[in-house]
Copies of this chain bind each other. A is one copy, B any other.
Amino acid sequence: MSLQQQPAKEQRRTRQRAAVDEVLEETEDFISAQDLHAALRSRGMSVGLATVYRTLQTLADNGQVDVLHTSSGEAAYRRCARDEHHHHLVCRSCKATVEVAGPAVERWTRSVAKEHGYVDVAHTLEIFGLCPRCAAQA
């Protein structure tokens, strides 16, 4: 959700990064580093935990994955369809995610910041709820 993203440093192609990419590609919802690591193990594509953390961090820095912090403070990652800035509507229970754009919100945050003289502004906005499926069986 942050705005800053580096000039994408030169990187080497490694089995580990390919593995992380693959799982991210196939994972529809936000997933934590720990869970991604576990997913890799269970597929037999074992990758060191530190490497998973490093890879995700790099992807996040390059803006190739979105990061969000759950209410417990744990970071979760997701490869998003749209490239432009957007936000997420996330199911509290199953993590089902919908990408949403809110031009009005973007304008509003900018104007609020300017109004108070704040510069170099970024913002986080996530919407949490129960998706239709989970609400039904609740």
Contact = CB atoms under 8 A, between A and B. Distances in A.
A91 B132 CA distance: 37
A45 interface: no
B124 A129 contact: no
A39 B22 CA distance: 47
A112 interface: yes
Contact of A112 (B2, B89, B108, B112): B89
A57 to B, nearest CB: 13
A18 interface: no
B120 A123 contact: no
Given A104-B104, A118-B130, A124-B125, 7 more contacts: A73-B73, A89-B113, A98-B118, A120-B130, A122-B128, A123-B127, A124-B124
